[in-house]
Amino acid sequence: MIEITDNPDKTKWADFVHNHPHGNIFQTPEIAEVYKRTKNYEPITLAAIDTKSNEIIALVNAVIIKEFSGFLGKLTARSIIQGGPLFIDNQNSKDAVKVLMEHYNSAAKNKAIYTQIRNMWDQNNTNNLFESAGYDFIEHLNFLIDLNRPVDVIWSDIHKSRRKGINRAESAGIIIDIVKDKKDVKEIYNIIQATYKKVGFPIADISLLESAFEVLVLGNKAQFYWAKHDDKCVGARISLNFKGLLYDWYAGSLPDIPYVDEALVWFILKDGAAKGYKSFDFGGAGSPHEEYGVREFKRRFGGDLVNYGRYMNVHNKILFYLAKKVIELKKHRA
């Protein structure tokens, strides 16, 4: 028998994610706590329990994200499932996933216009599971960098132009360091917010980064980095850290200071390799069918290009259409 709960035991939840071969930070109790503390964020956590063993055999942790409150909030409400759902690879667990996603869809359809499952590994062998639950596959690229190598080998795989930029940043006196005080999160947020605004991307409220610092940094599950030039913060990057994987989460830099982003990424790669992390996940590189400038920046760090893609389920087609029109109007006015 399978039982679905929206309040799984946190110890069993944490153990299930940690022991799962694809367990990742986005399916942990800690990230759910971060979401709970963030303005306009709402986590949805569901677990399938085998009633015979009383153990978790499948789990999904999602987050409803809104850009605004009120009616505009409804037009921007989407649900993201990053690195999930997780389940044991046997028939009983696959059956549990079907039931789990039915419950999830029922919970999400009244709260979000659509759901995206953002894959962090190859899910080709589970296509039928998600398609039967109403999800369509969308191609989406990413770069993964192997950190389980000598630093000089990682360096040699970086494109010559990127290496030149890193060296120039060092010569210009740009210094990279790890942020140790929560009061500095505001300065980092301001730079990231300005960067996102410039390219027209939405960004979460500052409470997301503040909560991540409070919950994740102290547990060594996140790291905040900043770049300084003449004692002024000129760039920042945040990684999420779990089970040997560094995930590139948020980034930003001042446009008038060159090579800051190159220097930050290189520092994180070196630091991660020295601390025993196995892989660096660049956090996405866009659709293969669309131009995406950031993809070229990431490509030149020598990682492996993968197309794990995403799955998408539109819960409310009318609101989805209206939301697209609002986005198009905002872009036209920008």
**Residue 112 sits in a domain of what CATH number?**
3.40.630.30
CA distance 207 to 36: 10
pLDDT at 293: 85
Percentage of residues in the chain having pLDDT higher than 70: 95
pLDDT higher than threshold 60 for residue 327: no
Please, what sign has the CA dihedral across residues 13, 182, 282, 192? positive
Same domain for 298 and 158:
yes
pLDDT over threshold 60, residue 178: yes
Instruction: Note whether 250 and 320 are same-domain residues.
Output: no
Looking at the structure, do residues 152 and 301 belong to the same domain, yes or no?
Answer: yes
Mean pLDDT of the 13-36 span:
98
Query: Residue 331 has what pLDDT?
Result: 43
- What is the predicted pLDDT for the residue at 330? 47
Q: What pLDDT digit, counting tens, does each position of 241-260 carry?
A: 999 999 999 999 999 999 99
Confidence of residue 332 (pLDDT cuts 50, 70, 90): very low
Flag whether pLDDT at 285 surpasses 60.
yes
- Domain range holding 67? 2-140+309-333
Does position 240 have pLDDT exceeding 60, yes or no? yes
Q: What pLDDT, on a 0 to 100 scale, did the predictor assign at position 325? A: 62
Same domain, yes or no: 298 and 267: yes
Quick one: pLDDT at residue 59?
Answer: 97
Same domain, 111 and 192: no
Residues 6 or more apart whose CB falls under 8 angstroms from that of 246 comprise: 147, 239, 240, 268, 272, 277, 279, 280, 281
- pLDDT, average across residues 46-75: 88
| C-alpha span between 93 and 96 (Å, rounded) | 5
Average pLDDT, the chain: 93
Q: Would you state the pLDDT for residue 200? A: 83
pLDDT value at 50 more than 80: yes
Residue 151 shares a structural domain with residue 216 = yes
Whether residue 21 is found in the same domain as residue 99? yes
Checking DSSP bridges between strand 78-82 and strand 55-65, what pairing results, if any? antiparallel
List pLDDT tens digits, range 86-129. 998 777 778 899 999 999 999 999 999 999 999 999 988 787 88
User: pLDDT tier at 278 (50, 70, 90 boundaries)?
Assistant: very high
Alpha helices in the chain (DSSP H): 10-19, 29-36, 70-76, 91-108, 127-131, 151-157, 160-171, 185-199, 206-212, 260-274, 293-299, 317-333
Please compute the mean of the pLDDT values over residues 34-58 and round it to a whole number: 96
* In the chain, % of residues over pLDDT 90: 83
For residue 85, whether the previous peptide bond is cis, meaning omega lies within 30 degrees of 0, is yes
pLDDT tens readout for residues 210-238: 999 999 998 899 999 999 999 999 999 99
Q: What is the pLDDT of residues 292-315, one digit of tens each?
A: 889 999 999 999 999 999 999 999
The reply to whether 158 and 300 lie within a common domain is yes
- pLDDT tens digits, 141-159: 999 999 999 999 999 999 9
If asked whether residues 98 and 121 sit together in one domain, one would say yes
pLDDT at residue 66, as a whole number: 92
Is residue 261 located within the same domain as residue 323?
Answer: no
Number of domains, the chain: 2
Q: What integer pLDDT is reported at residue 259 of this predicted model?
A: 97
Give yes or no: residues 101 and 155 share one domain: no
DSSP codes, 9-77? -HHHHHHHHHHSTT--GGGSHHHHHHHHTSTTEEEEEEEEEETTTTEEEEEEEEEEE-SSSHHHHHHH-
Clarify whether residues 136 and 150 are in a common domain: no
The pLDDT assigned to 71 comes to 64
